[in-house]
Amino acid sequence: MKWLRRIYIAMVLGFLYIPLAVMVVYSFNASRFSMDWKGFSGEWYLQLWNNTGLLTAALNSLVVAVVSATLSTVLGTLIAFTLTRWRFPSRRVIGATLFVMMMSPDIVIAISLLVLFMLLGLPLGFGTLVLAHVTLCLPFVAIVVQGKLHGFDPVFIEAARDLGAGDFAVFRYIVVPLVTPAVLAGWLLSFTLSLDDVVISFFTTGPTFEVLPLRIYSMVRLGFKPEINALCTIMMAITSLAVIIAYRVFKEEK
């Protein structure tokens, strides 16, 4: 039984991580063209560093991710508060539309936004891309924070008021600290959603503003370059770091 369980665990982990491992290993492969192993090399990382186009795209991606994650976290948190705190007629409808937005295929969101932007005469670029990513991320933040607020016992608010806290003090000293973990989680989710989005970005950004996933996409179409392996390895390292930090933060909270 014990070895059976071990095999099972190995299969699950292998299924998840073998592709990533292959990518990491090949990012250090000295061979340029073939998938044969030609020895260890850090060359592609060096080339990456000199590829200004790629670096610009990466920087663009980071900026868009930070800005849109922050915007959607602010808006999504406000929506979550509104939906849990007040009972108004369209509350259920708005709650449902959040799910509809979350479930909609990216391509549908992308096309609809493109049509809207063209109708409004907005030039495609940084602005439209951020707007599109906020649209993408907003429902996720709202739903994550709403989940936390639903589990939030209103007796804490009563206890704080009973002890002399006014509305602002309740928000500042009770609600914010208790909800922060969920808000942070929403931000991280938005950040990653924005960072690796291809479809929506493809339709809603212009030629003057290129983001990393699109850049990689076009690079691969012209032929696979080993720099891409190196680039993806770096991105993976950054994501892992973010996950570790997030885990630490939440553990502190507990």
Partner 1 sequence: MAEPVLELRGVSKRYGEAVAVDEVSLTVERGEFLTILGPSGCGKTTVLRLIAGFEQPSAGEIVLEGRSMAGVPPERRAVNTVFQSYALFPHMNVFDNVAFGLRMRGFAPTEVRRRVLDALRLVHLEDLATRMVDRLSGGQQQRVAIARAVVNEPAVLLLDEPLSALDYRLRKRMQIELKHLQRSLGITFVLVTHDQEEAFSMSDRVAVMNQGRIAQLDTPTAIYETPANLFVARFVGEINVLPGVVVGCVEHMTHVEVEGRVIPLSTPPGCWQVGNKVHVLLRPEDLRVETLRDLDEDPELRASFGRVPALLGVVEETVYKGATYDVILRLDSGTMLTATEFFNEDDETVYFRPGDRVAVTWVQGWETVLAYAP
Compute the least distance from the CB of residue 77 to partner 1, in Å. 17
- Segment interacting with partner 1, rule: CB under 8 A, options 4-12, 32-40, 102-110, 168-176: 168-176
Compute the least distance from the CB of residue 86 to partner 1, in Å. 18
Binding of residue 1 to partner 1 (CB under 8 A)? no
Applying CB under 8 A, among 66, 111, 165, 236 the residue interacting with partner 1 is 165
Binding of residue 174 to partner 1 (CB under 8 A)? yes
Binding of residue 169 to partner 1 (CB under 8 A)? yes
Compute the least distance from the CB of residue 251 to partner 1, in Å. 13
Binding of residue 103 to partner 1 (CB under 8 A)? no
Q: Which is nearer to partner 1, 77 or 205 (CB)?
A: 77
CA 218 to chain centre: 21
**Count of residues that interact with partner 1, criterion CB under 8 A:** 18
Angle in degrees, CA 202, 207, 212, rounded to 5: 55
Binding of residue 247 to partner 1 (CB under 8 A)? no
Compute the least distance from the CB of residue 165 to partner 1, in Å. 5
CB 148 within 8 A of CB 182: yes
3-state secondary structure of 34: coil
Rounded distance between C-alpha atoms, residue 40 and residue 205, angstroms: 38
Handedness of CA 58, 60, 197, 111 (dihedral sign): negative
Return the closest-CA partner of residue 198 out of 221, 222, 214, 218.
214
Cβ neighbors of 144 (< 8 A, separation 6 or more) are 76, 182, 185, 186, 189
CB 219 within 8 A of CB 228: yes
Applying CB under 8 A, among 156, 217, 224, 247 the residue interacting with partner 1 is 156
Binding of residue 150 to partner 1 (CB under 8 A)? no
Rounded distance between C-alpha atoms, residue 64 and residue 58, angstroms: 10
Applying CB under 8 A, among 66, 75, 178, 235 the residue interacting with partner 1 is 178
Report the length, in residues, of the chain.
254
Give me the residues that bind partner 1 (CB under 8 A), please.
Answer: 153, 155-156, 158-166, 169, 173-174, 177-178, 253
